[in-house]
Structure 1
C-alpha cells in the first residue's frame, strides 16, 4: 500500500529512491545503500548522482527540490535527534504541495521501519550463496562487509 501511495506522481520516483539511499547512508547500512543504489541504477540514475547522494550538499547533481529531500532525510535520521528542526521541513514545503509532502513522509517512515529491522537483524550486505542482484549488490561484487551499527558509534543513543 505504501509503495502504491508513493507512486502517485506527486514526488518523482528518483527522489524517493534518493531518500531511501540517503537514509541508508546516514545510519551506515551497507545493505540498504547497496539495495537502493541498485534500484536507482536500474531506474536509469547516473553513477555520478548515486555517488553524490552521500555529499548532496556540495555536488552539482541535484536541483533545489531534490536537495530538500535529503536535507529532511538527514534531519530525520541523524543520531540523537529528538525532533526534526523546522528549517529542513520548511525547505521541503517550499518545493512541494500538501499531497507531495504527505507522499514524501511515507518513504521516510518506511525507511525508518526498514532501517531498524536492518539494525536488529544485521543482514549481510551480500551473500555468496545468492546472486548479487538478488541481494541488491552490484554485479561482480559478491561480498561486501556487513552493516555497521550506528548506535555503537554514538553512546548518546540508547540501546533498544
Structure 2
C-alpha cells in the first residue's frame, strides 16, 4: 500500500515512468496544437483559463510561467480570469477564452457550446485553426485529471514534480 503524501508532495510518482505511453500521447497532442495555425499566446491563454476554471494550482503556475517565458505581459496574464472586461485581449482571443469556458462550465440547459458561439469562433478562425483551438482545449483537459488527482508540485522542475516511486 502506498503511503499518504504530505500536502507539499504529489500523490503519485511520475506518471510517465508508470505509463511510458503517456509520453507518446502528450507529444502527439503538443505537436498537433503547435501546428502554427493558432498563436502560441492564444493557446497559452486558453490553457491558463482552463487551469483557473478547474482550480488547479499546478496548471495555473505551469501556464502562467509558459506565458511569461514567451514574453506575455503581466497585465494580460493577470487579466485572464477577468478577460470579459479586460481591454487587452483581441476579439479572437476573447472568443477562444469564451469557448474554453463554455466547454468547462455546465449549463442548466445542457448546451455548453451554442451555435452562436461556434459561429463567432468560426468567424475568427478558419477550419484548421478552429480544429487546432479545439485540440488545445483537449490537450489541457487531457492533463486535468493528472493535475487534480496526482497533484504534481507546481513551480519546480519536471524531475521534482512527482513523489519518488515506492518499492512494490
TM-score range, shorter chain: 0.7 to 0.9
Where structure 1 has 5 or more consecutive residues not aligned to the other structure, the ranges are 127-131, 136-160
Q: For residue 9 of structure 1, report the CA deviation from its aligned partner.
A: 1.6
User: How large is the Cα RMSD of the aligned pairs?
Assistant: 1.7
Structure-1 separation of matches of 2:29 and 2:119: 24
Give the conservation status (yes or no) of the 8 Å contact 1:23–1:73: yes
Instruction: Confirm or deny that 1:89 pairs with 2:109.
Output: no
After superposing on structure 2, the runs of 4+ consecutive aligned residues of structure 1 that deviate more than 2 Å are: 79-85, 87-90, 122-126
The one-character-per-residue Cα deviations of 1:103-132 (angstroms, maximum 9, x if unpaired) are 111111111111122122133435xxxxx4
Larger helix proportion of the pair: 2
Match of 1:104 in 2: 133
Asked which structure has the greater CA Rg, the reply is 2
Measured after TM superposition, the shift of residue 37 of structure 1 is 0.3
Q: Which residue in the other structure is 2:101 paired with?
A: 74
Give the match for residue 39 of structure 2: 12
Residues 20 and 108 in structure 1, CA contact (< 8 A), matched pair in contact too: yes
1:26 aligns with: 53
| Distance across 1 between alignment mates of 2:61 and 2:107 | 25
- 1: CA distance, partners of 2:47 / 2:144: 9
Query: Residue 37 in 1 paired to residue 37 in 2?
Result: no
Separation in 2, partners of 1:83, 1:114:
24
Which consecutive residues of structure 2, in runs of 5 or more, have no partner in the other structure?
Answer: 1-27, 159-168
TM-score (norm 1): 0.74
CA offsets 1:40-86 (integer angstroms, 9 cap, x no match): 00000000010011101000110101101110000111156844221
Distance 2:99 2:148 in 1: 21
